[in-house]
Chain A
Amino acid sequence: MLGFIIKRLLWMVPSLFAVSFLAFVLIQLPPGDYVTTYIATLAASNEIVDRTAAAELRTRFGLDQPFIVQYFKWIVGIVTRGDFGLSFEWQQPVSELIWERMALTLVVTSSTLLMTWALAFPIGVYSAVRQYSIGDYFFTFLGFLGLAIPSFLLALVLMYVAVVLFGADVGGLFSPEYQTAPWSWGKVQNLVEHLWVPVVILATNGTASLIRIMRANMLDELHRPYVTTARAKGLSEFRLLLKYPVRVAINPFISTIGWLLPNLISGALIVAVVLSLPIAGPLLLQSLMSQDMYLAGAFVLLMCTLTLVGTLLSDILLALVDPRIRFD
């Protein structure tokens, strides 16, 4: 097991390098660079930037150097100093910009994840055990509804409901007075109060699909011979369900961790824009639009790293849960 983990970790090193290079290439792919966008923005307000000034800006940002040199500088900075470069647009180090956003993203997504599991797991099991019962049809209907409604629409509806019916303050994760305040008990409380709207919206979709997955898996396992064996031993229906088929059917749940982590950044994008949440998604979008190369690069790199880490994490968990994988 330890050998397996070490092997996977070692494999991550070359993968990360390949991925970081690709990320950098991707960022550079759109025509023009930050300066072009900058000039365009200025031109919109009738300010003309001449060629020499533009070239000067390019030199200052290091944009005139060959591609490979830029990549090399960037990656060396990250590896040696944890320096992700400077955001052109914000004129701040990238690392300062992203960490708080990442922390809040983590809060939002992990609460979403917990809620998704807490709902999908029992409902999925129930739907499978009582297949074709009224309850199953009810939840199946709800599930398809959840899958079918676009999350931004749900966000708008929920915002309306929250404001009109409850008079709640929606949008963002904090009330104005806490927005820039340092962390305190009150701020945490305020966060929790704001959290439920985005969590409900984000969880709806995930729950709906996970219920379907869990139901299908359970149905596969429910009629396996080992379940009959357990029944023939005299276990109660509830105990044998939890111990045998649920235990095996849970594997795909664990696999979802693998693709949930990268979703941290890009997944909740539309909802985050609609609700103006201060999480990573909107910032990534903004940086891509303004060709803020280092900021966008940092996000893409982070997403790729999280994908790798997520896959590793789910593989390790799977191996822990399923001995068949462990011994392979």
Chain B
Amino acid sequence: MTTASPGQPIISIRDLHTHFPVRGGVVKAVDGVSFDLSRGKTVCVVGESGSGKSVTARSILQIVDPPGRVEKGSIVFNRTNGTSVDLASLNPRGREIRSVRGAEIAMIFQEPMSSLSPVHTIGNQITEVLTLHLGMSKKEATARAIELLRAVEIPNPERAIERYTFEYSGGMRQRAMIAMALACNPQVLIADEPTTALDVTTQAEILDLMKRLQAERGMAVMFITHDMGVVAEIADEVVVMYQGKVVERGPVEQIFHAPQDPYTQMLLGNVLKLERPSQIRAAREPVSAEEPPLLDVRGLKMHFPIRKGFFRKVVDHVRAVDDVDIVVRAGETLGIVGESGSGKTTLGRCLLRVYEPTAGQILYRRPDGSVDDVASLEKDRLRECRREMRMIFQDPFASLNPRMTVGQIIGEPLLVNGIAEGSELHDRVAALLKRVGLNPDWAERYPHAFSGGQRQRIGIARALALSPRLIVADEATSALDVSLRAQMLDLMLQLQDELKLAYVFVSHDISVIRYICDRVAVMYRGKVVETGDAEQVCNDPVHGYTKALLSAVPRPDPRERRIHARHRYVN
């Protein structure tokens, strides 16, 4: 143990290597990483999925999941009292590292639902840290837990400590998680994508809260994220990681305005690209408002009954979609934007009548000019309509059957509709694969052989198989890294030009909406609160909720920090 001098970084990581021995080799998840954390400063670690940022964070506390282990390097922790210790050299199960975890260095995680125990009360999980590290009695710990919950702005903390995780909303859970992490006044807080699973307005609240608490306590914060907007908003310093290595590190200003490394430049380029409308879209003629609509939705309602009591009587309804009117024309993209629970996904599903709408009309113009109401169509006609209206799903992993080859997946709609079989089917699948930028020879492979971006292309190829006229894309790019996201959107726009497709693009991501959509409908609690031209809605919103939503989106520019001064919408 050596003595620390003032002005030293609180944690300095040098040449860290964390490896995962797997069958047939070693995965070098962290491969020679060095950087420092300082008191009162926020260091953001950014990188795309698989870059090793989470494993780096876990290496600090020695909680890497087996079979991973720290192979080499040092993580020197310089305490305020002058002592220091190399965390990398401690036994991961030993007493010494355990007394650091949660007490001096605390960590919060991405998924607040699964990161908290489902069967223990929030209070129990907070007091546990207090009794463990500070030796408090149960009564003292409870009083302190209430205080902590109050500090993270949870209303009614006396009652909140008796609650279970599933009784909290997403934002509340993350607040409770923060309260738990701060319980022992740690000197370092490691946050692993703490806002990724949250809505933008909730994210803004959590970021605000973390900033305030950091300032009050002078903690060092290591913040892991893949969102450049969040980085610009909160970072003092940035560490960019790629494939287990640090490719660039420096002050936030330098990273955003004078990036040196080509990877950083590419990453930022993709982010900034999504800050403006797409080039492809700018180059084409706007769709005339006079043109008859392809899809004309009038007064659409989707109410789900709430049943209660002994006889399961219907006591109320969840108004998931409540009196929505939207219009989509051929060759244009309508964005539906909203936060979780706004009813945007339900609306998307109602359009194809996955759900039976409670009321309203979905008027769809067939190629011959006749108009059908999808909401009340008979089975046979509905099937015909559905051939022309397809869907692309959010999760590229869950939406492809792992036991079918890619060729079978893409060919299935052609086969079940009796359109093609045998060699003709084979040829059409090959053509579809080519169209979405995949090698036609890959048709015999299974989905697991493909990356997330490639899988989403397979999903698009499947949707295109029946030559549709309308595609409902439900958060189609949300699960993808930002570099793939722009590619995917460009592909969709190209296809739109070639095939005169109409898209209904459901998303919570404003930048994606701005990039790809011609017009936008903003949904809030089942209602469309604002519709209009994408430019106009994104730059000059009229409705209070839209203003709040847009101003909560962090911009990827550290000179334009604005979350704290955001517009708040109270209804």
* Residues of A bordering B, CB below 8 Å: 7, 223-226, 228-237, 243-244, 247-248, 321-324, 327
Contact B63 A225 (CB under 8 A): no
Tell me which of B63, B100, B114, B133 contacts A226 (CB under 8 A): B114
CA separation between A234 and B99, bound complex, in Å?
Answer: 6
Tell me which of A224, A233, A237, A324 contacts B93 (CB under 8 A): A237
CA separation between A224 and B114, bound complex, in Å?
Answer: 7
Contact A226 B116 (CB under 8 A): yes
CA separation between A233 and B310, bound complex, in Å?
Answer: 43
CA separation between A236 and B97, bound complex, in Å?
Answer: 10
Contact A234 B310 (CB under 8 A): no
CA separation between A224 and B93, bound complex, in Å?
Answer: 18
Closest-CB distance, A38 to chain B (whole angstroms): 50
Contact B102 A324 (CB under 8 A): no
Known: A233-B102, A237-B93. 6 other contacts (CB 8 A): A232-B61, A232-B102, A234-B133, A243-B120, A243-B128, A322-B119
A-B contact pairs, 5 of them (CB 8 A): A224-B114, A228-B58, A231-B101, A235-B102, A324-B166
CA separation between A323 and B129, bound complex, in Å?
Answer: 22
Q: Is B230 an interface residue (CB 8 A)?
A: no
Q: Is B545 an interface residue (CB 8 A)?
A: no
Contact A324 B107 (CB under 8 A): no
Contact B114 A327 (CB under 8 A): no
Contact A233 B180 (CB under 8 A): yes
Which chain A residues lie closer than 8 Å to B93 at the CB level?
Answer: 237
Q: Is B228 an interface residue (CB 8 A)?
A: no
Q: Is B132 an interface residue (CB 8 A)?
A: yes
Which chain B residues lie closer than 8 Å to A230 at the CB level?
Answer: 117
Closest-CB distance, B102 to chain A (whole angstroms): 4
Which chain A residues lie closer than 8 Å to B101 at the CB level?
Answer: 231-234
CA separation between A237 and B93, bound complex, in Å?
Answer: 7
CA separation between A243 and B114, bound complex, in Å?
Answer: 16
Contact B164 A235 (CB under 8 A): no
CA separation between A248 and B117, bound complex, in Å?
Answer: 9
* Chain B 125-160: CB-based contact to A (< 8 A → 1; otherwise 0): 000110011000000000000000000000000000
In the complex, the chain B residue whose C-beta lies closest to that of A245 is B117
CA separation between A323 and B164, bound complex, in Å?
Answer: 8
In the complex, the chain B residue whose C-beta lies closest to that of A247 is B119
Q: Is B441 an interface residue (CB 8 A)?
A: no
Which chain A residues lie closer than 8 Å to B180 at the CB level?
Answer: 233
Contact B111 A225 (CB under 8 A): yes
Q: Is B103 an interface residue (CB 8 A)?
A: yes
CA separation between A233 and B177, bound complex, in Å?
Answer: 11
Contact A233 B132 (CB under 8 A): yes
Contact A232 B63 (CB under 8 A): yes
CA separation between A235 and B132, bound complex, in Å?
Answer: 7
* Chain B 45-66: CB-based contact to A (< 8 A → 1; otherwise 0): 0000000000000100101010
Tell me which of B103, B115, B167 contacts A229 (CB under 8 A): B115
In the complex, the chain B residue whose C-beta lies closest to that of A233 is B102
Tell me which of B63, B102, B107, B119 contacts A248 (CB under 8 A): B119
Which residue among A7, A323, A327 has the maximum number of chain B CB atoms within 10 Å of its CB? A323
CA separation between A228 and B117, bound complex, in Å?
Answer: 11
Q: Is B106 an interface residue (CB 8 A)?
A: yes
Tell me which of B98, B166, B167 contacts A234 (CB under 8 A): B98
Which chain A residues lie closer than 8 Å to B77 at the CB level?
Answer: none
Which chain B residues lie closer than 8 Å to A237 at the CB level?
Answer: 93
Q: Is B305 an interface residue (CB 8 A)?
A: no
CA separation between A234 and B104, bound complex, in Å?
Answer: 10
